[in-house]
Amino acid sequence: MAAKEVEGVADTVSNMAGSKALTENAKAAENPSVKISVSVGSSKSQNESHTRTVTHQGSEFSAGNIKLKTTEGDIDVVGSKLNATDKLELDSAKAIHLESTQDSTENHSTNSNSGWSAGVFVGFNGDSYGFGLEASGQKGKGKENSTTITQNNTQINGKSVVMKSRENTELKGANVNAEKLTADIKGDLIIESRQDETKYHSKQTQAGASASFTYGSGGGGSVNFSKNKAKVNQAQVEEQSGISVGKGGMDITVANNTHLKGGLIKSEATRDKNHFKTKTLTTENIENHSEVKVENISGGISTNMAQTGISAVSSLASALGNKNESNHTTTKSAVGDNINLTVEKGTPTALSRDVANSNKKVTAYDLGEIKEQQEMADVIGEIAQNSITMALKPKLDEAEKQKAQAEEVLKVDPNNAQAQQVLNQANQTINQYGKGGDVQMAIRAVTGVLQGLATKNTNGAIVDALSPYANKLIKEQTQDNPTANLMAHDVLGAVEA
């Protein structure tokens, strides 16, 4: 009886197929050449978005000579331009306010999705058939919030500019440009730069599960999830507020305090033509920043160990799209070193005289580009998972099956050479194509480089490390196909470039 069992199992190993109709039917259901299924299910999705945009259309007035004078109130110029080809005069009975306007856009959106399906199927493979049950479900949600603020500075332009105020003169998001400037300020002079701002935050989660049962071979299932987050926070002075004078020079007198907050006073004239006198002088700098943080997390668990390994590769590939960077610069208050500066009381200690390098720019991150890179990283990870599944899963499934059958034979007949040969070959296939094997390592490496390129994380060390391994792999996998060998090396060369 035992001999017959050994002989039966040996025949199974030799033929690499089950001898029972039930096994054939199960195989037909699992790997059908024709599959008929009937299922029922539902799905729904919801998207909601709210956008608020505020824009300002500033005024612009141009003439040969311009004079604005008040006998009682202030002079206010907000987000506008005054252009004089000759003389421009601002004469206020009280204060002069030159300010920027702020264009802004706010967007708030949410999304959700869910769905399920369940059904039965029949698979045919040759003369065999099998049937089973399958079901799946998925659910996801996300949100996205963004805010942008853009400064529109007021511009005062003239060949000769005269400014007079009985009270304060304020430049908050404003620029005065003149060939020659005279200013008599009875109150304070306040020059303040303003920042453009960008804030963005998004979060998306997705989870799903599937299960199937094939009569004759049991059931299986899998669970997968993904979570994507992105955050951008930027603030930068794009254009410093201040006074810029040509070769005609300047003569500025401030009765009280001059306060510069990232403010700039500069001149192209020689030192003897530039005079700036103030009772006191205070300064402060503006800190600019640019921060981006992108997180991609995905994974899955399956009753099929090969599929779990594939999910791990995809998870690693998804994580390669992550980014966490920050950049900081300073907009400094500065008065040109070719300007005769007289401060009656106190000595300013934090004032820069380097007007050429007073406003360093941070690295700007484009929101559209970041979202596109995230999508590309996700797609590449998905392609990698699908490619590995289609290419490797059948090999691994067959190898696992052969291994189990050979081990059954060797339990009864340890000296069976044919079974040992089958076992060795199966183990070799598992080692080569399974989790941690050469093929999956190659796919993981190439996927990582592709995702690095997609997210512009082109670290040379990654490509350099890949190159010798990839060349060796190409040689081994295409040695019998010269055309494929040349094409593969061309692709690698493009990646390396």
Q: 259-263, 368-372, 409-413 — which is least confidently predicted?
A: 368-372
Residue 103 predicted with pLDDT over 70: yes
In angstroms, rounded to a whole number, what is the distance separating the alpha carbons of residues 261 and 276? 17
Asked if residue 99 has pLDDT above 50, the reply is yes
Rounded to 5 degrees, φ, ψ at 366 are -85, 125
The pLDDT of residue 280 is 96
User: Structural domain boundaries of the chain?
Assistant: 2-364
pLDDT of 243 strictly over 90:
yes
- Predicted confidence at residue 406, as pLDDT, reads 86
pLDDT at position 435 is 58
Summarised one tens digit per residue, pLDDT across range 214-235 is 665 556 677 777 788 889 999 9
Give the separation between CA 276 and CA 337, rounded to whole angstroms: 11
Tell me whether residue 109 is exposed, middle or buried, using C-beta atoms within 10 angstroms of its C-beta: 0 to 12, 13 to 18, 19 or more.
middle
The DSSP-derived string for 407-466 is HHHHHH-TT-HHHHHHHHHHHHHHHHHSTTSHHHHHHHHHHHHHHHHHTT---HHHHHHH
Q: What is the mean pLDDT of residues 478-483?
A: 47
Is 420 or 452 the better-scoring residue by pLDDT? Answer: 420
In this prediction, residue 379 carries a pLDDT of: 57
pLDDT band of residue 490 (cuts 50, 70, 90) is: very low
Yes or no: say if 292 and 229 are a contact pair by the CB < 8 Å rule. no
For residues 335-364, give the mean pLDDT: 91
What is the structure's pLDDT at 17? Answer: 34
| Phi–psi pair at 403, nearest 5 degrees | -60, -45
Query: Would you state the structure tokens that stand for residue 119, as one six-digit string?
Result: 């059904």
Portion of the chain with pLDDT greater than 90, in percent: 45
Mean pLDDT of all residues in the chain? Answer: 78
Q: Do 110 and 143 form a contact (C-beta atoms < 8 A)?
A: yes
| Distance, CA of 224 to CA of 310 (rounded, Å) | 12
Residue 317's pLDDT is what?
Answer: 45
pLDDT of residue 488: 41
| CA distance from start to end of the chain | 67
pLDDT band of residue 474 (cuts 50, 70, 90) is very low
Farthest CA pair distance, the chain: 120
pLDDT of 443 above 60: no
Residue 437 has pLDDT above 50, yes or no: yes
Q: Are the CB atoms for 398 and 421 separated by under 8 Å? A: no
Query: Residue 305, by phi and psi: left (phi above 0), alpha (psi -120 to 50) or beta?
Result: alpha
Question: What per-residue confidence (pLDDT) applies to 434?
Answer: 63
Q: In percent, how much of the chain has pLDDT > 70?
A: 65
Mean pLDDT for 414-428 is: 85
Residue owning tokens 């690095």 = 452
Q: Are strands 218-236 and 174-185 parallel, antiparallel or unpaired?
A: unpaired
Residue among 369, 384, 212 nearest 298 (CA): 384
- 380-406: pLDDT as tens digits: 555 555 555 555 666 777 788 888 888
**137-141, 401-405, 431-435: which is most confident:** 137-141
Residue pLDDT, tens place only, 41-68: 888 889 999 999 999 998 999 999 999 9
pLDDT on residue 393: 65
User: Residue 321 has which token pair?
Assistant: 């799209």
- Compute, in degrees rounded to 10, the torsion defined by CA atoms 338, 342, 347, 348: -50
Predicted local confidence at residue 35, as pLDDT: 59
The one-letter amino acid at 401: K
- Between 171 and 222, the more confident residue is 171
3 state SS of 384:
helix
Residue 462 in this model has a pLDDT that exceeds 60: no
CA geometry: angle 24, 420, 398, nearest 5 deg? 35
